[in-house]
Structure 1
Amino acid sequence: MATIMKVILLLVNPVIFTCLSSTSSAKGIALWNDPDCYISKKISNVSPQQLVEEFLKEDSEGLLINSSKIEKFALCPGFQGGPDAYEVVKRYSIKKEKIEKDKAEFLVTFDTLGTVSSGGSSGELNTFLKNIEQKNVLLKLIKTPYGWRINFESTHTPRLTTSSARKYLPHRAWLPGKQRLFEETIK
């Protein structure tokens, strides 16, 4: 019932849904008490900085491509779908942080090279969209009874370094010319 209500709220007013998902439900219950949240109740005593640094390291190494592995970082891993694509990055750096008692924000800059995703009529092929840019991502953290967690506002897109992207690239065929473009871009 709670999930249906959220979907209806999202369809009617996305602003209401955003407020509910980032703070609390309509009943005043913390988001992590939502049965669809599936928060990891394993206690984590790491600082917000440590959590973000560990998250960025594991993400860049491709360890979070399996969406179940994100549970130690995500406020509500139950709201995360499996990734359909991942970005390839040269590097990342934490540019700015703001830490308060119960929440924190970290601005992370990624030097992005492009995106690997599924292509073809049934998604059976790899494709690569070259997009060299510097991208800023704001990670918002919330302190829960179980420790700090990242509150993703949408499904997390994994960001892999070039060496990790080569390692975790599914062994499938590519759309014509896309593997060559991928290899040339990530040299």
Structure 2
Amino acid sequence: MKRVLPLVGGVVILLVMLVALFPEPQQKKYFQVAATMETAPVPSEGDAADDPAVWFNANTPAQSAIIGTDKDSGLAVYDLSGRELQFVPDGEMNNVDLRDGFPLGGEIVTLVTAGNQTDSSLAIYRLHPTTRMLEEVAAQKITTCPPYGSCMYRSPATGKFYYFVNSRSGTVEQWEL
């Protein structure tokens, strides 16, 4: 009996130490966020709506726009109430991005790009600020990297615009626009 008591006491002390060293994780706090607005649904079913880009109209903020991808069939332009202004059915678009201040044909425009998985191309549009409509201005074939993810970048040092695209396998290409 003398041996059992120290053993039980040792186990109790060990358990107390373990509880003290590894306390129960604190409850994570989660907040519910309810949408107050949403865009009109995209034409495709399922998980097709993706990747929004927000264009801010500095002159008339209420005339700003949201451009979103329908991963199965194109790009949609929405006003700030979520109403669709335009749908461009140009293919399986992904990762829409935009940059203001791009020089194009003697004008300074807002450039919009997206990776088109249908034909492995870079889709390039300009956004007209008054109508908020997209106009295709070029389609450069991406030859070595099927587009999976993409984004644009403007160098603060040179002012040049670049497009980065990556494949599912991790290949990354950089294109000067």
- Assess same fold via TM > 0.5: no
Greater radius of gyration (CA): 2
In the superposition, the TM-score normalised over structure 1's length comes to: 0.26
In the superposition, the TM-score normalised over structure 2's length comes to: 0.27
Q: Of the two structures, which has the highest relative contact order with CA contacts closer than 8 Å and spacing of 6 or more?
A: 1
